Structures are given as structure tokens and as C-alpha cells.
């Protein structure tokens, strides 16, 4: 969930955040990557292949997610059009 669009309660929720390195955090904030409910990293089609290679994104990344985090990730995927019938 976007910090700007979040309520005070959502901003204080410890599940509304991910431990990402700065590069991945910037991509996440811009909607260029997200994460599926199974923890697999998703890349936006607007992130070109050569840019993925420069950022080291061809390597599959998977996170272990808590159920509470999945709520916020669904909102993130919807906001940035990562929707897929199997996930949302």
C-alpha cells in the first residue's frame, strides 16, 4: 500500500512493509515489481529485459509472506495492474 494513501492505522501496521534492499524497494514503490501471494516476485512488462539484466532481476526471487502481508500486496498489485485471475 502506498504510504500517501494509507490510513494512520495502516501506516502503523507492521505487516504493511517488506524488508527489501534499496534497489528493489525503489522498483516496488514505482510499481515495477510486486509479489504474488506465494511470494514470487513479479516484474512489470514496462521493465525492459535489458534493465532487468542490469538490476540482476532474471534471478527468481521468492519471499516467505505472512497472511497479513498478502492483504497489502494484493492492494499493491491492483494499484499497479499486476492483477491475475489466479491471485486476485
3-class SS string, the chain: CCCCCCCHHHHHCCCCCCCCCHHHHHHHHCCCEEECCCCEEEECCCCCHHHHHHHCCCCCCECCCCHHHHHHHHHHHHHCCCCCCCCC
pLDDT digits (tens, 9 = 90+) for 17-45: 999 999 999 999 999 999 999 999 999 98
pLDDT of residue 6: 84
pLDDT digits (tens, 9 = 90+) for 45-81: 898 989 999 988 878 889 999 999 999 999 999 999 9
pLDDT of residue 73: 95
pTM equals 0.85
Amino acid at each position: 500500500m502506498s504510504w500517501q494513501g494509507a490510513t494512520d492505522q495502516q501506516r502503523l501496521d507492521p505487516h504493511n512493509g517488506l524488508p527489501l534492499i534499496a534497489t528493489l524497494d525503489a522498483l516496488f514503490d514505482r510499481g515495477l515489481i510486486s509479489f504474488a501471494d506465494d511470494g514470487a516476485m513479479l516484474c512489470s512488462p514496462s521493465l525492459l529485459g535489458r534493465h532487468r539484466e542490469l538490476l540482476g532481476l532474471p534471478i527468481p526471487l521468492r519471499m516467505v509472506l505472512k497472511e497479513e502481508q498478502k492483504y497489502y500486496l494484493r492492494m499493491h498489485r491492483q494499484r499497479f495492474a499486476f492483477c491475475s485471475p489466479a491471485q486476485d
